[in-house]
Amino acid sequence: MVPFQYNARSLWVRKVTTLATAFGIALVVFVFAGALMLGDVSRVLAAAGRADTVIILRKGSDAELTSAIANDYLGLFRGPPQVSQAGGVIGEIVVVVIAEHADGSGSSNVLVRGTPPEGIAFRPEIKIISGRAPKPGTNEVIVGKAISGRFKGLSAGQSIDLRRNRPLQVVGEFTAGGASYESEVWGDLDYVRNALGREAVVSSARVRLNSSADFDAYRQIIETDKRYSMKVMRESDYYEKQSQQTAAFLKTLGLVVAILFSLAAMIGAAITMNGAVAHRSREIGTLRALGFSRRAILASFLIEAIVLAVVGGIIGSALVLVLSVLVSFPVINFQTFSEIVISFHATPAVFVKSLVFSGVMGLIGGLVPAIRAARVSPIEAMRA
């Protein structure tokens, strides 16, 4: 095997070319990692869903926003034996309101959720991180971390009008383990629905079952009840479906971009390695004359290409780290018309995938040049 110092020194000696190529690949990896993280919408939404919790919507509706259920039915949902007595049933109302961006760049839809007093406790992952929980029966609300401060009126101490003369007073900020709840505003169920003229109606019901295995039995009971027409879904399935279109759209976008950019990386690596082989043909001939096999030369140049590309991958990953800290990203959920904020969540998986990606780019781009190098005959060593 050709000692790696040879490759390392060769890369170092042509610093400018090495750095230019590595930086080009770094940019490609940067875009690739960004695309990877963009397709992560499902993760954001799915975090809100539990397998042992069920969401009930009016049959025919696909989202909480368009569903309407009479309040009276909540008692009936609580009846069947699969329902956990500790967890219980809650009904909530959901509406989107227009809120102006705090920086004046326009406005977007924000989801407001009216929840009963036990609504916050229903989700153990909710943490009030500043201020306090709203008092039930009042117009107090808390805002999710992802949207706090981004809209006029939606920061601690401020208020927005739900409707004329019906303000919502912000008293605190909450997190929800990264789930889409963090892009919502939560207030009192009665206050919100009365303000909207929708007394005695909820958008959806959530039911905690004794165990996730009870799902099928519970669903059977509710969906076949002749008194009403409801649709029962696991919460986790609901959220997955919610994000389907948006996720598919973003994933496709990300994939197309990543493929096209990876071509650029391969071409860049190929040009550099080709040049290296041409420039060093006398050296290679010498190595061959000294006794190194064709295979050793092939491997050597492949490794050099991969190392070059991975150096680019490391630089790109560093850039991605910066991106993930600085940038977060509102995106509209097609199905609910409301905003979800996606932040670039740089998990170790993203880095690993990025480095592997860069290595593969180096491998493919460097393959033909490495084959060329292996073909150099020892006679080249003698050439003037």
Partner 1 sequence: MNLATYARRNLFRRRGRTILTIMAVTLAVVIFCAIRTFIVAWNSGADEAAADRIATRHKVSITMQLPKHYIEELREIPGIKAATWANWFGAKDPKERLPFFAGLAVDHNSWFDVEDEMSVPPDQLAAWKETANGAILGDQLAKALEVQVGSRLVITSDIYPGDWEFKVVGIYTPRRKTVDRNTLVFRWDYLNNDSRAVYSKEHLGWMVSRITDSAQSADISRRIDAKFDSRDDQTLTMSERAFALSFLGGFAAVLTAFNWVSLVILLIMTLILANTLAMSVRERTHEYGVLRAIGFPPGHILGFILGESLLIALVGGVIGVGLVALVINHALGPAMEANMSGVFQHFFTPGWVLVVALGAAAVLGLVAGAVPAILASRLKITDALRRLG
Q: For binding to partner 1 (CB under 8 A), which residues are involved? A: 16-17, 20-21, 23-24, 27-28, 30-31, 34, 38, 58-63, 65-66, 68, 95-98, 105-109, 161-165, 196, 198, 229, 245, 250, 253, 257, 260-261, 263-264, 267-268, 270-272, 274-275, 278-279, 329-332, 337, 339
Instruction: Give the shortest CB-264-to-partner 1 separation in angstroms.
Output: 5
Q: Which pair of tokens denotes residue 300?
A: 């050597």
How many residues would you count in the chain?
384
CA distance 172 to 166: 19
How would you class 290 by CB atoms within 10 Å of its CB: exposed for 0-12, middle for 13-18, buried for 19 or more?
A: exposed
**DSSP, res 134:** P
- CB 109 to partner 1: min, Å: 7
Given a contact cutoff of 8 angstroms between Cβ atoms, the answer to whether 166 and 95 are in contact is no
> Which is closer to partner 1, CB of 121 or CB of 260?
260
Q: Which residue has the tokens 């009030």?
A: 128
Write the burial class of residue 306 (CB in 10 Å: 0-12 exposed, 13-18 middle, 19+ buried): buried
Report phi then psi at 80, rounded to 5.
-55, 155
- Looking at beta carbons only, is 87 or 369 nearer to partner 1? 369
The residue among 205 and 331 lying less far from partner 1, judged by its C-beta, is 331
Instruction: Judge contact between 141 and 99, C-beta under 8 A.
Output: no
Smaller CB separation from partner 1, 85 or 105: 105
Minimum separation from the CB atom of position 17 to partner 1 (A): 6
Show the tokens assigned to 27: 């940019």
Q: How many angstroms separate the CA atoms of 154 and 152, rounded?
A: 6
Query: Which residue's CB is nearer to partner 1, number 85 or number 164?
Result: 164
CA distance 63 to 79: 24
Q: Provide, rounded to whole angstroms, the least separation between the CB of residue 101 and partner 1.
A: 9
Q: How far is the CB of 120 from partner 1 (least distance, A)?
A: 23
Shortest distance in whole angstroms from residue 53 CB to partner 1 = 23
Choice between 42 and 82, CB closer to partner 1: 42
